[in-house]
Each structure stands twice: as C-alpha cells, then as structure tokens.
Structure 1
C-alpha cells in the first residue's frame, strides 16, 4: 500500500533557516568525500526528512477513528477494537515499524496512518460517512489515492484527471509529458465547476490539494489511459 524507496539516513540538528537555505549540523562527523559521493549519487539533489517529535493531535485522532468506524461497518466486524488492531497490524507490517498507540504516537506516525487509511478505503471502495468526509476533506492523500484509484477528491465519484495549470491549445493530452504538472482527480460535475468558477476559487472552496506528477506517478497513473475531459483547455 505504501511505496518506499531505499534511503541513506544521516541524522543532524537544524541550526539555522532562511527562505532559501538550511544549515544542518550532522550528529556524527562526515568526511568530505562522503558528502561529495552523496551529492553525486543523488544527482545533485538531496531529500531531507524532518523528524517531528510532537504527539498526535486531537484532529488527527478524530480522522483515524472516523475512518476506522467506517471500515468496521463495511467489514461487518462490529468490533471496533478488532478492526483497529487489524488495520494497525497491516500498517506496521507494510512499513516495518513498531506498534504504536493512537493515544500518544508521534504526529508523523499519525499522519502516515491517516494516509494509509484513506488509501485503504479508496482501494476497497469503502464508503465514508458524511462526518468522515468532512473531517478528511482537503487531505493530500485524498488527491493522491484519488488519482490512483480514479475517485473524485471531493465526492468520490469516478474521476477525470484535471490539470491545475492550463494545458493549452494544440497539446495532445494523451501523449504530452505530464512531468512537473499538478493534477487532481475530479468527477465530471466538479471538473465542470472548476472551469466555471476558476481554479483559485475552486481550490479555496474545497481545499483540494494538487499532486505534482513525477516519473513514478506518471507511470502509476498510466496517464495515456485516463479519460480527460474534452472541455479542458
């Protein structure tokens, strides 16, 4: 469910930040040749993952339990604790992480678990209660997994791909490169509304998040197979 990449982990302390630069002090010394090799292997770009030691928020906990209730009803367990155990076990196994508690886990673990639950529900077409959809509306995972499973990020009906930036006349949307473009999954009705009221007003209204297409996402989506609304310009 959750895709992972091989990474080299270097731990350090954040010393200084500006609008364009981060100064990080490694917690263990690094030789100059190690840094040069790291940059070479990464093609000149290095990905930073910032550890957030804060604990799960009330809002995150509310999202988790709302989706777990929906999953419990869909499976017919009618045993919320069993359903929670099953989903946590699958989540921990997929990431290879230790067991955690929704009462005091770290905020990043909670975020990943929310993403996992959204993906699980969309993959299995598990309906959300209205209050659940209200709680998670605007989550990035709704757009990402909505693209993957072709469900509208707003209402979960069958989705077209919608470009956040204008594609422009003369471009073949089935053969053009989508790398670097931002897209989102919208049903025909919401896609038409996007064009009617304008992209800025639309995204502010629904808090929908665009997904930047990289090579992995382009391959995952098989973009040439998407149905793209004919009125999109």
Structure 2
C-alpha cells in the first residue's frame, strides 16, 4: 500500500504526514490485523538523478539481459512497468527523475535480481554501494556483500568458543554475509580495519531472515509461545 503526501511537523522520533488523498482506514486495519504497522518513508530532497545512479541502473539491467537473452530496451520497459505498478506512480524517465526515485528503482531491480538469482558481473557488483538493504538481501540469499560469491553468516562480535549458538539471540548481534576468503580476511586483519576498508554496514537480522537461513536461537520458543 503506497501513500503520498506532504511532511508536516516532525521531531527526532516523530513526524506528521498530510496525505494527498483520504486514507483507506479499513485497508490499514486489515493489514495491521491487531499488530503495530511498520512503514517506510521516502523524503524527496529535490535533487535529480546522478550520472552514477543512471550508470549503475543500466549496468544491472544489462546483466539481466545478458543472462535471460532479452534486449535491453524491452527489459528496461518491463522493469519500469513492474516498478510503477508496485509504487502506484506515473511513468518516469531516468534522464530527469529525482534522486530518491532513482534510488528506489535501483533497489527494486536489485531485489528482482536476488529473487531470480541473476548473476552479477564483478564490475557491476563493485559499483553497488554496500548499504543496509543490500546487506540484508545478501544475507537472505547467502551472497557475499563484497564479491557476490556464496556466503556464510559472519558475526561482527564473535559468539565465542563453547557457546551453544541455539541459545544466542542473533537478532541482537550485528552480522555480515561473507564468503570464505573475506571471512578469513576479517579475522586476520581485524573487524575495525575490515569494515572501514570495504565500507560495510553490518546489520541485525530480523526473524524472517533468520528463519530463511534456518538459523536457530533462543527467540524460537519465545515466538512460538507468543503465537500460540
């Protein structure tokens, strides 16, 4: 469900949105189903798409075309159509769209590539910033956030020898998806140097991601008892 509007009053932890159209209260209540609703807010900063964003977007689309055998213009049109349907927005151009829209569109293409297991070229992968969203997607799909190879679950702060990992709440620990080589480099050169050198943003995985990865912890029994 996509809602558009204007930003009103705001503080450090609260903001007020005046929506362009009346809210569908019934639909919101249905989505909530008695739970706290999570939302994502994109604030338009007035800047235009950068040449770097445009280059990364076309590089990703070209990788998909090479893998699936479709022409670039047809694949670009398909991605745009799927994106505007999902967002509920008008047709746009990568020549003059906003920077925030370009970022959202690039993220959408990345998500499709992950879901369909489209291989990334090394050159394309190196152009993608290791932001929170990319790191979380790499976790879910077991891809190294640095090189895109098959990855493992690497803790920023090691769990420790002799500790039963089934008794650890992994949601409270920062992790990174790293291949064997980069995981070894992390331990060899130290976590501070490693994060600074590769500009990685470790994340705390949510329960959905942990279950996708089949990583057990002491949160499982708590969730089951809450849901029973």
Report if TM-score (shorter chain) is over 0.5.
yes
| 1:146-192 Cα shifts (integer Å, max 9, x gaps) | 11111111122211101122323443224421123221111111111
- Once the 2 structures are TM-superposed, how far is the Cα of residue 51 of structure 1 from its aligned partner? 1.2
Paired residues of 2:49 and 2:95 also in contact (CA < 8 A): yes
Pairing partner for 1:116 from 104, 108, 119: 108
Paired residues of 2:210 and 2:216 also in contact (CA < 8 A): no
Structure 1 residue ranges, 4+ long, deviating more than 6 angstroms after superposition: 6-10, 45-48
The two structures have a TM-score, normalised by structure 1, of 0.72
Paired residues of 2:166 and 2:216 also in contact (CA < 8 A): yes
Match of 1:70 in 2: 63
Distance in 2 between residues matched to 1:224 and 1:58, nearest whole Å? 43
After TM superposition, the structure 1 = structure 2 runs for residues 1-233 of structure 1, keeping only pairs within 5 Å, are 11-13=6-8, 21=12, 27=18, 49-52=41-44, 53-77=46-70, 79-224=71-216
Q: Which runs of 5+ in 2 are unaligned?
A: 20-33, 218-228
| 1:69-98 Cα shifts (integer Å, max 9, x gaps) | 111111112x21111011222223334433
SS of aligned partner of 2:144? coil
* RMSD of aligned alpha carbons: 3.1
SS of aligned partner of 1:212? coil
Q: Which runs of 5+ in 1 are unaligned?
A: 1-5, 29-40, 226-233
Distance in 2 between residues matched to 1:24 and 1:120, nearest whole Å? 31
Which structure has more helix as a fraction of its residues? Answer: 2
The two structures have a TM-score, normalised by structure 2, of 0.74
Closer/same/farther in 2, CA of residues 25 and 201 from structure 1, 3 Å limit: same
Select between 210-219 and 107-116 the one with higher mean Cα deviation.
210-219
